[in-house]
Chain A
Amino acid sequence: MNLHEYQARALLKAAGVPVPDGDVAATPAEVEAIARRLGGRVVVKAQVHAGGRGKAGGVKLAADPAEARKHAEKILGMTIKGLTVQKVLVAPAADIASESYAGVILDRASQRPVMMVSPAGGVDIEDVAAKTPDKIMKLPVDPRYGLLPHQAMRLGFFLYRDLAQVRAAAGVLQQLYAAFVTAGASLVEINPLITTPAGQVVALDAKISVDDNELERRPEIAALRDAAAENPAEVKARDAGLSFIKLEGSVGCCVNGAGLAMATMDLVKYYGGEPANFLDIGGSSNPDKVVTALEIITSDQHVKAILFNIFGGITRCDDVANGIVTATGRTRLKVPIVIRLTGTNEQVAVEILKKAGFSALTDMDEAVKRAVELAGRAA
């Protein structure tokens, strides 16, 4: 789960990281009021789960409260990468002497949290890694001991020469690591971490991604989820215990298991079609899940054919068949459906479907081919 910048800032601030004043707003009037309270020049930043906000026109500098209001009128409601901006952060415009990068990621290869710093901040860190990898210092942390003071100092010396700034950076890095652990994050970034002309080290931007598996035991973090900022179908799917991601194609896919779901999408592409979604109904055999899955798929106007691909192991094919019959009994399907079932209780499932007027296939390639054909015919 990704947090908004204003939420990430609040968590960093709570951990002791120096973060400039500022507040979040949902209307131009609120923006103007915050800008007036802050005084001087402010920056108005779109709060949306997408990168490249600046390039999309979602980040603007304002000389006074009136201009801040004008910017807010434009930014609020604008669409960035398919997501509507509903909130903006208003913060004082900072005077910047230098820009660095500081982050913690859960590193798969070393199986540890890794601290990452770079004196080349304010730009995409992946670009820095690709073009000038010597400008990045990485340090794996033993999670049983945390980031040790001398390690934080070593990272600080990589960023700054001035000892006061090195010490300040080391402090920020330890606070950053603490925030990472407290939030149950998979990634925490400050980009840029700036120095001001007066020599202060300050976090100007903040990004936190939380490990979804942490949410159950961290209700205060789970409460930060902003469902309004996500695709409504994806929210509905999550509430039903389904894993769903909307894509742009015309073949709606409903599969049990994430790996098989990806392989099914790939096979749709292989046979010349485009998948409309990723959808994993999971390992359980709950017919209600199948009903919700069908509702979600059919609500997408671009879907021209529906493809079920079920490999029965723990999931029983007859349960999925019952789900399909129930769902299609409630609302008539407007698009053709192709069903592939194999494994546990396959024969029972085929009988159930036959009685309800559906046919079922047992071969994955055949089923995908047919679904792609039907979607193509409808287009």
Chain B
Amino acid sequence: MKYIITSVAIIGIALLILLAKSLSNTDLISSDTFRFLVALSVFFVFSLIVLIAIQVFRLLQSVKKEIIGSRLTLRLVLSFGLMVLIPVSIVYLVSVNFLTKSIESWFDVRVESALEGGLTLGQKTVDILVNDIELKGKSIAYSLSNTLPEKRQSLLIDMREKFAIQDAVLFNKNGSINLISSSRDVLMPPSIDSDDITKASEGYFIKIEFSDNIETGDKEIFLKAFIPVDSNKSKQKNVLDVSSQQQILMLTQPIPRSIANIAVTVESVYEEYQQLTYSRNSLKIIYTLTLTLVLLLAILSSVAISFILSRKFSRPLAMLADATKEIAKGNYKKFIPESGKDELGVLVKSFNSMTSQLDSATKNAKKNRKSLEEARSFLEIILTNLVTAVVVIDDSKKIRLYNKSASKMFNFKLGNAEGKLLINAIKNKKLYEGLLKFIEEYLENPKKNKKQISTEFKFELNHNEKIIILQISPLAEKIAGSYVLVIDDITMVTKAQRQIAWGEVARRLAHEIKNPLTPIQLMAERIQHKFSKKLNKEDSGVLDKSTTTIVKQVNALKVMVNEFAEYSRTPKMQKNKFNIKQLLGEVIDLYTSKSLLITLNFNKDSIFIEADENKLRQVLINIFDNAKDALRNIESPQVRVSLDLKVDKVAIVIQDNGIGIPKEIINRIFEPYVTSKDNGTGLGLAIVNKIIEEHNGTIKIKNLVKSGVKIIIMLPTKNLN
């Protein structure tokens, strides 16, 4: 677009120069060319108007769309436009006024009057001279007509001299000269126009002739009088006319040179003045038109060029503004092409340097942030996967951070507890009353809350004993006022420790008790054998009863000790792959009788698992033994067994409709010496639990709502350890 505008402006200016030339030099450029130039200039003016209108429209669109730099361009264009418009308009108005007045000043009434006066004077002078030569001519003609032909020559000479006539010629109608007289030394016979002869035949007439003097170049005016000479009078006097025809007298008299020159000049100037007078309006129009075209082309070219200049000036600023916006959005890679070495160029250079510095700083910050985030997420992952509950609280006991285990332990809603008071976030406040009280005391005690303190809490949850250890410690000084609570659920640890202790007790008991039992039994049997026959019947009976009791009790002790030994023993498992359904079937067959209905619910033929088959058989026998005991006094006793395969686990569910397990012991049923049976050792289910745990499985037991017990054993199908 800028090239079009520049081209149009240059062509327009060239046209104006041609227009001015054509006005000043009429020979150089014809009127048609001038018209064409005017038309072409008008066309270019319209072209510029159209171009500017397009530019204005585009600029306004840009302003409407809030394109950066458009407003600045608009302001610059308006400024440039005004800067041009005001002075050019003033110059235009002054020029038009000056021009009009200048043209008007050429036409003064006095000048016109003077010229008209001069012309009239010339006319009058010529009239007087014409009248004079007419009278003289008539007089000579009269005299000639009354004179004899032989005397006419002398008369003609006399009268010519008398009237101071330059030339006098008497000629016939056919143009032949009869008499001639001249004041000049050399007289060339004059050529007589036939039209003049014809006209003179009808009557006299005066002819005015203009000519240029070849020698001096001056204007000359000649008066020529043609007067017919009547020859009737000579005929009356019987004078034979030479030609016997009517003759014509031609008198030639020049107007004095000084008068002729002035008269011709006045006439010429008058004509030129009249031409100017008639051209006055045209001149005004043409000059005004040319000036208007100059004004329009100058203003429009300037405005058009102002668009180019404004864009050139505003482009770096617009780019800067645009780049600033981009930087505000976070795009530090915005680079502005450098242009020029002026202040704008320096500004652009500085901006680019600043951008690149910002970019590198941002990259570093991003890098640092990324590593920080990685570290944080690493910590978060650790925290999340920690079994230990971690809660960070502040002075006001509001939760600042907590992990998944803490949420699980205190029943927080994940992601909702932050910022809440710890006491409000915990769902079961009663359960953790002691813990909360301890924390409160810790926080309120300025001596305590600078140290790390840990304490153990025991409470019952769903009839299960729960043991937790709370470790509370203040965080580093930088985040003063924050405390980290580390809560460990050590219930299972305690349980395991207890089991280990029981195992140790059992092992020692087995060792210490088993050894003397055999001698005791042997000795009791020996006593019976040796002394029963020696004693009377009554004493022998007592002895038998006593020794039998001793042996029975020793056997009972042995069974008990064996069970203890079994519990404490951790023999190596003999794992093999076998069909659990088949094992279940075998055990069920053992216990199925008329009085006990055992059903197995499983559609598939087999589920193979890797486990110690004998140990699992022991588990199942133990469970079915317990079931049988529980169903002893129950009408229509039944046991339902189901197998279920869940991905990589197998679930064995055994359910009876027996008397169930008393509530008091159900949660501790897998502990040693916990039993509801009168003659039970309380080691059966403890051993079952131990075997299942050794298989990396779980066992759960619960009373059914109506009656009976449901045992769920989960075993991995592939047991590598």
Chains A and B belong together in one complex: no
- Chain A positions within 8 Å of B, measured between CB atoms, are none
